[in-house]
Chain A
């Protein structure tokens, strides 16, 4: 046996041992613990609603955005990831288009639009908007649904999460949950 094959054998066996340990055993144990203690989260945080006729329906994940376009719904961030330079011309045109569309479904609203409603997110499926972006839409939703703006605000508040420990991250309003609640499904 020459010198190189002397190293090759432990290298092969070591790789095999590590593959079993880190690939199979570790992954299996984490999956087991996850499914045992956090089945809801581990399987995608799916929102299941029991309808009036007794059947259940899965309305999506609380972590993944859905597209909303009608005035009676809270509208989320533009979908998709652009990778555009924020200071470039393409970005400017895109943002202007979004601004015009938001104005067109809410012509009475004269206030400035919060920036997160007209800029793309990092994931392309950001499930949240800022509290300011939700407040911007409260009056429009109230009018479209013939309810008071304060009632809409109460629903929004209910599905707003704060900063962790009071200072980590940013407050966020979960768009899908608010809309499900507005439709009386949550």
Chain B
């Protein structure tokens, strides 16, 4: 157990230590300053602008910014959808895999464009190499870059005064991809390959087993390059079906550490970037602290659940719950990953969440249900958290009867409408999706477990879909027309409604003048505010989901 404590502490210290310089770097990149990679990449960057016919100083208002995001994502969606349907007749398909069904293609395209990476298929049996690297890898990059772009549009909204524009989406997207995501992914991909993560275009390899002499097929592919960005961009979609539990995705304790670190790296660094960008480091720190508190408490709780509330079997030595876990990760490494992947809206797994203990499985569910704001998705996590910050400022303002303000900007009715769209879309769609599915008689046939745990499989699925996480209780058979279509629509709504709201919030904020800080201004950097923010997040999350959780994991705990 002491090893687990040391491992977790090391992880947190290492994460914080890396997030500070990276956060400063990201701020420089996104505010157009020169960085050490500029010399090498600036010609390429300018070349891309030239191809697009855009100028780097061309500014956009909220409407144009939103339209650009939607059109860009729409094109990506159509391209991916067609690629998945037609993969059977396209090259880079050594296993001769056929095109997938229209509803699975719809679901998968929606899933990767929205940074969810929910997967109702197994990569090794359903997708060609071309679909993986030309379709999925690309969306892994650009959906993450889109999140970063929108976050910085929102930050500009706070920083700018009396302006009608909030930046240029094409520039934001290009710079985030070119200077942040590609270089980091390259380093991580090479490190992963060194540990045994596969990276090749050769066909699957047939080998002979030792005891029986039977043939065994080893699935291969250009995996490491995709896995690097899957973690860094909080995407989470596995190259192989069993995701990062599969040894060809995650081969050693070292590869596991790199992957689990890269999941939270950018979301944590963005808190630092935020402080830099608004020229008040304390603002970033208080948000970072709130996220870290949620994260640490969840980590302790799930590790304890997996260690101490596992089942006892006759004649078997008790040493924590190992069902669904790999030896090299054990209870400690699996619990850490589970919290990291659901705190961030990553959704990759190195252990089977369906086989977590009942209360251990409730924690990742609850982290998603909070709205993916405990670090959350790249960019989207922080703009989601900023919506909660505005909500807190607003409620605190109501309590003392003052017009609420944040970073010198008055928070007014239009802003609060946008905040509500950001905050309420995910819980609403999680619960509606769960309720609708429970009502379908056929749904019970899609479950592996029965009773309360079966309900948990459905609740987990829709909490994951409606928060763009993408992990699953994999006992739930997701590849049905119903879940593919409904899930696809939910993922699109819950990604783009809050995203558009965040951009319009930015546009409205940028138009305002700033008001001077006075003695009556609510501080958003002290302990009281941190406590208030935690309270608001918990109240909204707990009130929305406590009844559902009581029917699922809590009932499961008391009845098994």
Contact = CB atoms under 8 A, between A and B. Distances in A.
Interface of A: 4, 7-19, 21-24, 26-27, 29-31, 33-35, 37-38, 41-46, 57-64, 66-70, 73, 77, 81-88, 90-92, 95-96, 99, 103, 112-116, 118-130, 132, 161, 163-164, 167-170, 172, 176, 179-180, 183, 185
Interface of B: 3, 6-7, 10, 48, 51-54, 64, 67-68, 71-72, 75-76, 79, 133-135, 137-138, 140-142, 170, 173-174, 177-178, 182, 185-186, 189-190, 193-202, 205, 207-212, 216, 218, 220, 222, 224-226, 228-229, 242, 245-248, 251-254, 256-257, 310-311, 313-330, 332-334, 349-352, 354-358, 448-449, 453, 473-475, 556, 560
A99 B317 CA distance: 11
A66 B210 CA distance: 8
B220 A44 contact: yes
A119 to B, nearest CB: 4
Contacts of B194: 37-38, 41
A4 B79 CA distance: 19
Residue with the greatest number of chain A CB neighbours at <10 A, chosen from B201, B202, B212, B352: B352
Contact of A27 (B137, B197, B245, B251): B137
Contacts of B51: 13, 16-17
Contacts of A35: 199-200
Nearest to A87: B560
27 contacts: A4-B67, A7-B64, A7-B68, A15-B75, A31-B201, A43-B200, A44-B200, A44-B218, A58-B208, A59-B207, A60-B216, A83-B355, A84-B448, A85-B354, A86-B355, A86-B356, A95-B316, A113-B316, A121-B325, A122-B325, A122-B352, A125-B246, A128-B328, A164-B257, A169-B253, A169-B254, A169-B257
A83 B475 contact: yes
Given A31-B201, A85-B453, A122-B352, A130 B193 contact: no
Residue with the greatest number of chain A CB neighbours at <10 A, chosen from B220, B355, B475: B355
A131 B31 CA distance: 52
Contacts of A163: 3, 253
A128 to B, nearest CB: 4
Contact of A10 (B53, B210, B330): B53
Given A22-B137, A41-B196, A96-B314, A88 B210 contact: no
A172 B329 CA distance: 10
Contacts of A11: 68, 71-72, 75
Contact of A123 (B68, B202, B326): B326
A172 B556 contact: no
A60 to B, nearest CB: 5
Contacts of A57: 208
A31 B355 contact: no
Contact of B211 (A15, A44, A73, A130): A73
Contact of A45 (B75, B133, B196): B196
Contacts of B311: 86-87, 91-92
A179 B256 contact: no
A29 B314 CA distance: 53
A38 B193 contact: yes
Contact of B177 (A21, A77, A115, A121): A21
A163 B257 CA distance: 11
Nearest to B194: A38
A12 B72 CA distance: 7
A43 B198 CA distance: 6
Contact of A44 (B198, B321, B330): B198
A45 B251 CA distance: 10
Nearest to A182: B210
A14 B311 CA distance: 53
A169 B335 CA distance: 11
9 cross-chain pairs, A with B, having the tightest CB-CB distances, nearest first: A169-B253, A122-B245, A83-B475, A63-B247, A170-B330, A34-B199, A30-B225, A164-B253, A128-B327
A85 B321 CA distance: 10
Contacts of A73: 210-211
A69 B211 contact: yes
Given A60-B207, A120-B323, A168-B10, A26 B355 contact: no
A126 B327 contact: yes
B54 A99 contact: no
B326 to A, nearest CB: 5
Given A13-B51, A170-B328, A18 B141 contact: yes
Residue with the greatest number of chain A CB neighbours at <10 A, chosen from B195, B197, B225, B329: B225
Contact of B355 (A37, A45, A84): A84
A4 B75 CA distance: 14
A90 B210 CA distance: 31
Nearest to A130: B327
B314 A119 contact: no
A26 B350 CA distance: 25
Given A14-B174, A18-B138, A34-B200, A83 B324 contact: yes
